[in-house]
Amino acid sequence: MGAIRLNTIYQKRRVSPYTGKIRPAYYEVLQWFKKRLDTFNLCPPSIIFWYPIPPYTALGISVQGLNFIPVYWRQQIEPNETIFLGFKIMELRPPVPLTVLTMFFSIGLVITGSVYKLIEALNTQGSENNPPNPFKQSPRLAVFFPIYDNHTALGILYIDFKIMQFSIKQSLEPNENIVSLIRFLDIVPPFPLQVATMFLALGLFLNWIINEKK
């Protein structure tokens, strides 16, 4: 009994009075790093289909989940298409089948319009009588990768399988009802590279949706 009592006293002395304070702080630090280092947090949480409305505006359908679709109105600020302002005009919460149908219908329009414009450019070089283009107002796909708590994001806009435009999206107020878009880089990658990056971005977006549903 004496040995057991001495062992108990020794264990009590080994316990630091700061242990109860250190463990919650240590747990919070681990959770902070886990959240920041989770690879799924690098996936794009939204994709936007911009339907152009000539000459300086566009209507954006942003898919941010299986039942959440905000609609944006984008206004061009200066003539070089470098600075834009986006205003959230409504939020839709359709059923999952309608959201999936809207997303894949818009993706189909993006691909069909881009391919048609490429074929038209190849077939009408040097021709003055160009037939009307039924896909002239086809949407453009933009994918935004989060940088800081979704209030700042790096965006990639795919234009007709020819040009990739990089921009910074910045929320101007907490609810993201007003956002600014600043285009800072245009590149002309090879056709296979642009197609590969577009489908990679779409795959990452679908992975983010699956991870959120777990």
Domain count, the chain: 2
pLDDT score recorded for residue 9: 44
Indicate if the pLDDT at residue 124 is higher than 80: no
**What distance in Å separates the CA atoms of residue 71 and residue 86, rounded to the nearest whole number?**
10
Total-model pTM:
0.76
Rounded mean pLDDT, 167-172: 90
CA 146, 154, 90, 95 torsion-angle sign: negative
Same domain, 23 and 58: no
Cβ atoms < 10 Å from Cβ of 180: 15
Is 70 exceeded by the pLDDT of residue 34? no
Give the pLDDT score at 173: 83
Buried-state track 20-44, b at ≥16 Cβ within 10 A, e below 16 = eeeeeeeeeeeeeeeeeeeeeeebb
Q: Are 73 and 168 in the same domain? A: yes
Percent of the chain with pLDDT over 70: 73
Check if the beta carbon of residue 139 is closer than 8 Å to that of residue 110. Answer: yes
* Digit-coded pLDDT (tens) for 73-89: 999 988 888 899 999 99
Percentage of residues in the chain having pLDDT higher than 90: 23
Of 138, 128, 169, the closest CA to residue 45 belongs to 169
Instruction: Indicate if 110 and 176 belong to the same structural domain.
Output: yes
Please, which pLDDT band fits residue 48 given cuts at 50, 70 and 90?
very high
- If asked whether residues 120 and 32 sit together in one domain, one would say no
25 and 52 in a single domain? The answer is no
Average pLDDT score over the chain: 79
Residue 12 sits in the same domain as residue 69: no
pLDDT at 102 over 60: yes
What is the per-residue pLDDT for 166? 93
Q: Tell me, yes or no, whether 134 and 152 share the same domain.
A: yes
Among 6-15, 28-37, 124-133, 142-151, which range has the highest average pLDDT?
142-151
Q: Are residues 31 and 8 in the same domain?
A: yes
**Predicted confidence band at 4 (pLDDT cuts at 50, 70, 90)?**
very low
In terms of domains, do 98 and 131 share one? yes
Asked if 75 and 67 touch (Cβ cutoff 8 Å), the reply is no
Q: Which of 4-8, 34-38, 100-104, 202-206 has the lowest mean pLDDT?
A: 4-8
Enter the tokens of residue 187: 């590149």
- State the residue range of the domain holding 30: 2-36
> In terms of domains, do 176 and 207 share one?
yes
